[in-house]
Amino acid sequence: MPSKSLISRRHLLLGAFAIFTLPTYLRAAPQTLSALQSGGHVIYFRHGATTWSGVDNINWPRARQRLLSGAGIEQSRMIGDAFKRHAIPVGAVLASPFARCRDMAEIAFGRVEERMELLGLLSDEQGRAARIAYLRDRLRLPPQDGANRIIISHTSNIATVANVRLAEGEGAIIRPNGSGFTVLETPMPQDW
């Protein structure tokens, strides 16, 4: 008969294996889709897939920045098409000033309001606390226009504020309540 410690280790290893083999996203549930169609939510996207070339320096020209790859452009189109297909109302579309974030906003939603406050937290230490406070406020305050607020930025920002790490193109559907917020789901682009 195996010892208790061996059984415990086996269960621990099996549990760890199960965690790492589960999908990294949730499919958008029908009740979540219905809630989004009613407005009042925030959808935070990490920018779409990138080329992983270029450097993250906001002062550099677009050609020297890390840009969306062909897959990232397609992800952006898929997301925009899904919002139209499901009649999800879109209000403000806020994005980090990096080209990959602005491009995703333009491709998916046809417009963008560039916000320096959404600059990645790892990009520049100066103003970090103010950027965290800005995002926290955008996540906790419901949109007043009856639509949904879109934010396209970087994983470091949402990880710091909401303890959620997003893959490129992944979104976080957030229900604000004025004093805080709840992350409902984290769909990948193909799950919209």
Q: Which CATH architecture has domain 26-191?
A: 3-Layer(aba) Sandwich (3.40)
Task: Specify the pLDDT at position 133.
Answer: 96
CA angle 169, 174, 179 (to 5 degrees): 145
- DSSP states along 6-28: HHHHHHHHHHHHHHHHS-SS---
Q: How far is CA 159 from the centre of its chain?
A: 10
- Of 32, 18, 74, 19, the C-alpha closest to 187 is 32
Asked if pLDDT for residue 125 goes beyond 80, the answer is no
> Could you read off the pLDDT of 59-108 as tens digits, one per residue?
788 888 999 999 999 999 999 999 999 999 999 999 999 999 999 999 99
What's this model's pTM, rounded to 2 decimal places?
0.83
Q: What is the mean pLDDT of residues 163-189?
A: 96
Asked if pLDDT for residue 140 goes beyond 50, the answer is yes
- Of 150, 154, 192, 156, the C-alpha closest to 174 is 150
> Could you read off the pLDDT of 19-71 as tens digits, one per residue?
333 333 335 678 889 999 999 999 999 999 999 887 777 778 888 899 999 99
Asked if pLDDT for residue 189 goes beyond 80, the answer is yes
Q: What is the mean pLDDT of residues 144-163?
A: 96
Q: What is the mean pLDDT of residues 158-163?
A: 96
